[in-house]
Amino acid sequence: MYHLFLALQCVGIILFAVEICFVLFQRESKLKTLLLLFCISGLINCIGYFCEMRAGTLNEAMLAVKFTYLGKPFIILTLFLYAMELCHIKVPIWLVATLTGFQTFLVGVVFTCDMHSLYYKNIKFSFDGLFPHMVVTHGIIYGLFMIEVFLLFGFAMVVCIRFFIETKQKSEKLQAFLMFMTFFVGGLSYAVFLSRVTKGYDTTALAYLFGGIFICVTTLKYHLYDVVCLGKEHALQHIENGVIVTDTIGNIIYSNQLSEKILADISEAGEKNPFSWLVQNGKQGNEMHIGNRVYMVNNHDVIETKMKCGDVYIISDITKEYKMKLASASTEALVEEKKEEVL
């Protein structure tokens, strides 16, 4: 039995690693980000628990547990946020920040658990059961963690049931069902582990493995991407203006097709750093003659919660207006010339 559970941990490590590689090449979206964070947390948890199962001393087991908790608390968080996003429930920023802070606090508490009894107390190492393992009495912080887990899992299951009932599409009903099963299996695994009937084996590790499979099915099979993000990207790629977004130190983090073409044309014209040339002309308010087109650049700060996060450069094609201005100026000059001839 021990070797079977050990093999399952190896399968989990491989599965989460493959999922991470696959997700990295998917289109950007909130669901993709949450899935990636879930897979990373799950991979850390699998590696840590594999090491814990192989530990032969208390020190080795404790070190493995600490490594495991670099991922374990964040599996709960990312799983919950993923379900909320899937079921179109907006989670307040303050709640996300609070949960993130608590999960981070748990990591710190576990890493210092040999200095206090808030999380573990009466830590021992037993050679009984399926394999050598730690035997502990849980402290008050562990109790709070379990309360958080069951509250989040319970709320998520209610949300999934409600979404299952309200949605009319069969694909969304299946997604809601798989998410419900993810939380149900997760909650059940915690209950089984706390009952100590598994003789040292942490059933939550197996539950997270199944959770990863369920989430991959819902995300990859049904192409669950953020429709808003996709819509914005589609609009930006097809508008008549070039758009370039930079971070606070000037690195380009997004550019649409038109802006990439303009930068390529500037480079072909002999400019070694086309973006810097474009920005400089934008600051000076210059009209930029690139090939047979004329452009102007406007810069806007990206502000979030009163803090500058980057810049947006809008490149407008003013060729038509420029030609009209030239024609108007030519007409005015001709009129003035005629007046002088009359006089």
* Domains of the chain, earliest start first: 2-229 (1.20.1070.10), 239-342 (3.30.450)
**pLDDT one-digit tens code per residue, 106-118:** 999 999 988 888 9
Give the model's pLDDT for residue 40: 86
| Mean pLDDT to the nearest integer, 299-328 | 81
CA-to-CA distance for 119 and 24, rounded, in angstroms? 35
Measured CA to CA in angstroms, residue 171 lies from 177, 214, 262 at distances of 10, 14, 42
pLDDT digits (tens, 9 = 90+) for 275-303: 888 888 888 888 888 888 888 888 888 88
pTM: 0.63
**Longest CA span, the chain:** 115
CA distances from 316 to 240, 267, 273, 292 (A): 8, 18, 20, 14
Q: Which of 91, 192, 217, 103 is CA-nearest to residue 149?
A: 103
Quick one: which of 14, 16, 23 has its CA closest to 39?
Answer: 16
Helix (H, G, I), strand (E, B) or coil at 292: coil
Within 10 A of 67 (CB to CB), how many other CB atoms are there?
Answer: 19
pLDDT of residue 311 exceeding 70, the answer is yes
Query: CA–CA separation, 183 vs 74, rounded Å?
Result: 15
pLDDT tens-digit series, residues 159-184: 999 989 988 877 778 888 888 988 99
In this prediction, residue 158 has a pLDDT band, given cuts at 50, 70 and 90, of: very high
Confidence at 270, pLDDT banded by 50, 70, 90: confident
- The answer to whether residue 304 scores a pLDDT higher than 70 is no
For 200-242, how does the pLDDT look when each residue is reduced to its tens digit (9 = 90+)?
Answer: 677 887 788 777 777 776 666 655 555 555 566 666 666 778 8
CA angle 179, 183, 187 (to 5 degrees): 170
Residue 141's closest CA among 192, 240, 73? 73
d(CA 131, CA 134): 10
Question: Percentage of the chain with pLDDT > 90?
Answer: 14
Residue 66 phi, psi dihedral angles, 5° rounding? -60, -40
**pLDDT tens-digit series, residues 18-67:** 666 666 655 556 777 787 888 888 888 888 888 888 888 888 889 988 99
DSSP class of residue 217 equals I
The residue count for the chain: 343
| Residue 149 backbone phi and psi in degrees, to 5 | -60, -50
Give residue 343's pLDDT.
Answer: 52
Tokens of 50: 């594999």
Q: How far apart are CA 183 and CA 160, in angstroms?
A: 10
pLDDT the model gives residue 141: 93
pLDDT of residue 210: 78
Residue 98 pLDDT class (50, 70, 90 cuts): very high
User: How does the average pLDDT of the chain come out, rounded?
Assistant: 81
Q: How far apart are CA 76 and CA 154, in angstroms?
A: 12
pLDDT higher at 174 or 12 = 174
| Residues 6+ positions from 319 with CB-CB distance below 8 Å | 292, 293, 294
